[in-house]
Amino acid sequence: MILDEKEVMGLLQNIISENPGKAIGIGVSGRENGSTRFANNAITTNGVYNRLDLYVDVTKGKKRGIAVVNELNKEKIKEAVARADALADVAPENPELMPPLGPQKYPKVPTLYYRSTAEFSPEKRVDSIVSVIDKAKKENLTSAGFFETSSGFSAFMNSKGLSYHLLSSRSYFNNTFRSGEGGSGWTSAEEEDVDRVEVANLADSAVRKAIDSRNPKPLPAGKYTVILEPAAVADMVWFLLYNFTAREADEGRSFLSLPEGKNRLGEMLVSAKVTISSDPAFAQIPAFPLGEDGLPQEKTIWIEKGVIKNLIYTRFWAEKMGKAPVSFPANVIMEGESNKLEDLVRSTEKGVLVSRFWYIRDLNPMILLLTGLTRDGTFLIEKGKVSHPVNNFRFNESAVNVLKNVEMMSQPKRVVGGETGTSAFVPALKVKEFNFSSVSDAV
């Protein structure tokens, strides 16, 4: 659900004007989401829902009250303001609560809203999925997945003069094919413009992987050179950046910690091949230009040629440590090399090709040790060629070690992480000594 910008901003201004003397913030957001799901070669659900919310926060010193309603009539708005005001009176003081921000200047970002996505009908989603199911039946495979399209807006204004209005749209497609002989293939894509989601090509790729991974042969656990396809890399890098918070490092609770309350900012921590940044204006994977509390989201280099260049500083921790705030990454952009995935395979005498990861969990934040599973196509590489499919593995490996042990990269591309479900612009990686801790019976 999208409301007219002039109408919405006028409504927010009126609410603030009717509450003089209050430190108040008002937000309105709306979204229409359409989702079509399929399993066992049949469509299971196909629906659309709309949501509209009005958010009110009232700040009184170090206390804040928040109320949310899903109607925009005058009675409900007054009720929400009164409730937020009353909650602020009785809320305990939050010593880390920062004052509301005033006016901000936001960077210009590429288009985030496309009518093609907003107007993509349930019938079009069904037609796309029927074509996917037909491919599965033709190859004697079983398909499952979903196709979602959504659009919406987010508007905010406070009594200090901060205001913004944003439009966005999102399309997300995911499909998995399985065979009766242990083969499995998966692909996924996320785009602002649904016309860029190439359903037929995505399905064809997953079908090929499902067929090629049939009848896997046993391979023991151990340390191997691995080729991580971009979807697997996306998850590794996102898990790395999730843990890039300065506070955890300064308080001795992360792999970025040093003695005496210091951190590893400025240290070379991974391979000099690795440069990772975020930038909401990056054309291939644009993002909202908003950070914490409405701070502008700027281009940020997190790792440059292996050196830690920035950490995430919340407004509170930045003020405490005498730093500028740095918001959580808007997106992930990792530089690569000019190689293709096939070049990485050809350069490998013996190794394992990993399509993607699944069920990744933290084991030890002090070394960023992760555990998870390979899934939907794991293959042995011998003498520069993909030899045959092998069993899946559980891995116990540090994301830091993975990036330390990078030997070669492909060109980066936009992909969706299988575990995080979040887009990233990353290359495939050739990594030495990757630790597969045990064999997994999962497909």
292-337 pLDDT, tens digit per residue, is: 999 999 999 999 999 999 999 999 999 999 999 999 999 999 999 9
For residue 21, give every residue at least 6 positions away whose Cβ sits within 8 Å of its Cβ, in sequence order, or none: none
Max intra-chain CA distance, the chain: 74
Domain locations along the chain: 5-210, 211-237+336-440, 257-332
The token pair that represents 348 in the structure block:
């490998």
Give the residue carrying structure tokens 């359903």: 199
| Mean pLDDT to the nearest integer, 277-281 | 98
Half-sphere exposure of 406 (CA within 13 A, CB side): 27
Mean pLDDT of the chain: 97
337-376 pLDDT, tens digit per residue, is: 999 999 999 999 999 999 999 999 999 999 999 999 999 9
312-322 pLDDT, tens digit per residue, is: 999 999 999 99
Which pLDDT belongs to residue 224?
98
For residue 197, give every residue at least 6 positions away whose Cβ sits within 8 Å of its Cβ, in sequence order, or none: 171, 173, 189, 191
pTM exceeds cut of 0.85: yes
How does residue 63 score in pLDDT terms, banded at 50, 70 and 90? Answer: very high
Q: Does domain 5-210 have CATH number 3.20.10.10?
A: no
220-236 pLDDT, tens digit per residue, is: 999 999 999 999 999 99
For residue 119, give every residue at least 6 positions away whose Cβ sits within 8 Å of its Cβ, in sequence order, or none: none
